[in-house]
């Protein structure tokens, strides 16, 4: 078992710490190139984390990472060097901080902008216990675009709890929100008092020799340089920076200074994404999260599928609609590449927007656009859309405005684990009055779902699709247009009804073929609509002896529950079983291993169905 680091950090000289950083980067590159994972941001944060561990004791001053995909170095420094080889594998080391994995990880963190709030809570507890230590928060510049950060900063600046906030500014796509903040701060520079002072200084410099014009220019630049800190200083939080985030000596000095101040301090550091791996250095979104790749060339080891992904189908279909109708608009929250909106934002910058990590704002702003007669598409991952739950109810649902929600990464997403699985959207949207929920079963019907949403203008609607590919083989069944309140009978049979919703149709299809091979003749139904449930559902329930429901969502609040409620309301008595996910947070790992552990593999689903058929004495 490797001993890492070779000796306590506090006993190391500067040169040894720098060598340690190189060793950490080498280990990260070795494992991520094999397993995939978050790369460029975590490479850029190595010196920050080493300096944190050098100055502070995480057992007394909790290290709180925002999102925590940049915390790989922290994992390596806290006893997980060997285990790191299992990064993101089923049963292995998580790609995010996870207290159940190590006591060195303070909090689960997979969504952004929670760190400062957690820090305030920890600081309150420490104050009540009269402890001298303080929380250490590492937050990326992108996370600063979310309102939760400013709610926490507002209280922190008022209460003055000791805390160190390390702002990792790596000039990612997050430069846009930072730019917006800079524009706001520039208003301070236009204040008459500031202008008067600047004009006085300029006139004074004009009387100096020509060589002094250089000084004037530097003076102007230096005043602009301090503007990032003005916001924090005005909120009552000390600001230090900008600091070179790869200079260990400077970082250690600033962290010690912050430690001595005994009040809230922000140290603004500037780092390079991908630092130490030249191919990935810079603000390249494709190196943020990667699959396995060749270290020498940077080329992906897994060849892309010749078939388009659901995200690509969504992007191309929406691009077509945007080209024929100027009222089509769209928004995403810091995921232009992941949701497929990147090219649309480039093509139509006045109609498609990336607002940064601001899901709440994205939803509410599109509610207003819908009221103004536009056709808005909100493109957000299932796991991130839940952050805007109140806005979906208050600003979209109650108003009844026709906002179209395109829910990417629905269902099991794999290696990112508990914080990223897209398993809640059906439950939290199904309860909202007036919402229309539907789902395609494959790429062809996804295109039709988007077109239906485009034309549907009487209520808000949402449709979901998976991360990589649908379970159902392309062109297995004829693709028909979506009609509100209509299901589709793909195979007419008897006794057994296999009801699929969205990607669940593919799972139902697998069970269908297995049952046919055993002599059964089940019906296969694509439910299509989860809310409102189709009118034809009652007939299916009354003409079959047993029904099974398949959907990539939780049983709690899921499709099976909706059908049971429907059956009860229509006085239909029959055994109906949901083969959706049990109520448990789904861990990280490859999708096949996860499905096997949850008894969702094709073999497991067939076995579960056969057991129920035997129980009810249903034979071929």
Q: Please report, in range form, the residues annotated as the binding site for thiamine diphosphate.
A: 69, 110-112, 142-143, 170, 277, 359
* Other beta carbons within 10 Å of 538: 16
HSE at residue 203, side-chain half, CA atoms within 13 A, is 6
Question: Whose structure tokens read 């925002």?
Answer: 66
Q: Give residue 102's Cα distance to chain centre.
A: 23
What radius of gyration do the chain's Cα atoms show?
A: 27
Q: Give residue 529's Cα distance to chain centre.
A: 26
The H-assigned helical ranges of 325-474 are: 336-339, 342-347, 359-371, 382-385, 389-391, 425-430, 443-455
151, 159, 291, 424 from 109: Cα distances, Å? 18, 25, 21, 18
Distance in angstroms between the alpha carbons of the first and the last residue of the chain: 57
> How far is Cα 493 from Cα 504, in angstroms, rounded to an integer?
19
* Other beta carbons within 10 Å of 184: 12
* Other beta carbons within 10 Å of 394: 13
Cβ atoms of 461 and 435 closer than 8 Å:
yes
Cβ atoms of 337 and 373 closer than 8 Å:
no
**Cis peptide leading into residue 242 (ω within 30°):** yes
603 included as an active-site residue: no
Rounded to 10 deg, the angle between the 175-189 and 227-234 helix axes is 80
Contacts of 551 (CB under 8 A, 6+ apart): 426, 500, 501, 502, 503, 504, 558, 559, 560, 578, 580
Strand partners, 550: 500
Q: Could you tell me which residues are annotated as the binding site?
A: 69, 110-112, 141-143, 170, 277, 359
> How far is Cα 609 from Cα 612, in angstroms, rounded to an integer?
5
467 included as an active-site residue: no
Selecting among 88, 273, 275, 507, the annotated active-site residue is 273
**In which element (H, E) is residue 201 found?**
helix 192-206
Strand partners, 422: 411
**In which element (H, E) is residue 378 found?**
strand 375-381
* φ, ψ (nearest 5 deg) of residue 15: -65, -35
DSSP secondary structure code for residue 417 in this structure:
-
Strand partners, 329: 376
Selecting among 359, 415, 488, 580, the annotated active-site residue is 359
Selecting among 25, 80, 387, 467, the annotated active-site residue is 387
Q: Which residues are catalytic?
A: 273, 359, 387
């Amino acid at each position: 078992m490797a001993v890492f680091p070779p000796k306590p950090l506090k006993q190391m000289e500067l040169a040894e710490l720098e060598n340690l950083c190189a060793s950490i980067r080498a280990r990260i590159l070795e494992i991520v190139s094999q397993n995939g994972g978050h790369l460029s941001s975590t490479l850029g944060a190595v010196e920050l984390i080493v300096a944190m561990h050098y100055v502070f004791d995480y057992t007394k001053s909790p290290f709180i990472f925002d999102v925590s995909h940049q915390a790989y170095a922290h994992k390596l420094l806290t006893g997980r060097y060997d285990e790191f080889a299992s990064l993101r594998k089923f049963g292995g080391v998580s790609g995010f901080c996870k207290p159940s994995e190590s006591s060195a990880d303070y909090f689960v963190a997979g969504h952004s902008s929670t760190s400062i709030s957690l820090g305030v809570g920890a600081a309150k507890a420490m104050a009540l216990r009269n402890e001298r230590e303080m929380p250490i928060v590492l937050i990326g510049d992108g996370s600063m675009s979310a309102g939760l950060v400013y709610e926490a900063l507002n209280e922190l600046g008022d209460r003055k709890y000791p805390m160190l906030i390390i702002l990792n500014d790596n000039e990612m796509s997050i430069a846009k929100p930072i730019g917006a903040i800079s524009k706001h701060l520039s208003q301070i520079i236009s204040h008459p008092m500031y202008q008067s002072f600047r004009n006085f200084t300029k006139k004074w410099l004009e009387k100096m020799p020509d060589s002094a014009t250089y000084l004037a220019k530097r003076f102007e630049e230096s005043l602009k340089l301090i503007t990032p800190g003005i916001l924090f200083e005005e909120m009552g939080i000390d600001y230090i920076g900008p600091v070179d985030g790869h200079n260990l000596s400077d970082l250690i000095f600033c962290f010690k200074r912050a430690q001595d101040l005994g009040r809230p301090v922000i140290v603004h550091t500037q780092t390079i994404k991908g630092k130490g791996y030249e191919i990935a250095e810079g603000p390249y979104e494709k190196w943020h999260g990667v699959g396995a790749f060749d270290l020498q060339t940077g080329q992906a080891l897994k060849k892309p599928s010749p078939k388009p992904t659901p995200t690509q189908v969504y992007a191309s279909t929406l691009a077509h609609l945007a080209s024929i109708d100027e009222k089509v608009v769209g928004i995403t929250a810091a995921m232009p590449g992941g949701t497929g909106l990147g090219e649309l934002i480039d093509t139509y910058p006045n109609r498609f927007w990336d607002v940064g990590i601001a899901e709440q704002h994205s939803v509410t702003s599109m509610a207003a656009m819908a009221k103004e007669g536009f056709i808005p598409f909100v493109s957000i991952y299932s796991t991130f859309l839940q952050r805007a739950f109140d806005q979906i109810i208050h600003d979209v649902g109650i108003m009844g405005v026709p906002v179209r929600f395109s829910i990417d990464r629905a269902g099991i997403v794999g290696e990112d684990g508990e914080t990223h699985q897209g398993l809640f959207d059906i439950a939290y949207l199904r309860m909202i009055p007036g919402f229309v929920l539907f789902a395609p079963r494959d790429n062809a019907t996804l295109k039709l779902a988007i077109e239906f949403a485009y034309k549907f203008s009487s209520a808000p609607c949402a449709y979901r699709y998976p991360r990589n590919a649908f379970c159902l083989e392309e062109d297995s069944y004829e693709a028909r247009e979506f009609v509100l309140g209509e299901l589709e009978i793909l195979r007419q049979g008897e006794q057994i009804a296999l009801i699929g919703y969205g990607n669940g149709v593919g799972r139902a299809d697998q069970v269908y073929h297995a049952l046919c091979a055993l002599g059964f003749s089940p019906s296969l139904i694509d439910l299509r609509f989860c809310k409102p449930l189709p009118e034809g559902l009652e007939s299916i329930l009354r003409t079959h002896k047993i029904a099974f429901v398949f959907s990539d969502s939780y049983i709690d609040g899921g499709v099976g529950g909706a059908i049971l409620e429907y059956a009860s309301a229509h006085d239909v008595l029959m055994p109906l079983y949901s083969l959706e996910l049990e109520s448990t947070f789904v861990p990280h790992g490859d999708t096949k291993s996860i499905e096997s552990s949850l008894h969702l593999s094709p073999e497991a689903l067939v076995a579960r169905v056969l057991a129920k058929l035997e129980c009810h004495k249903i034979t071929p």
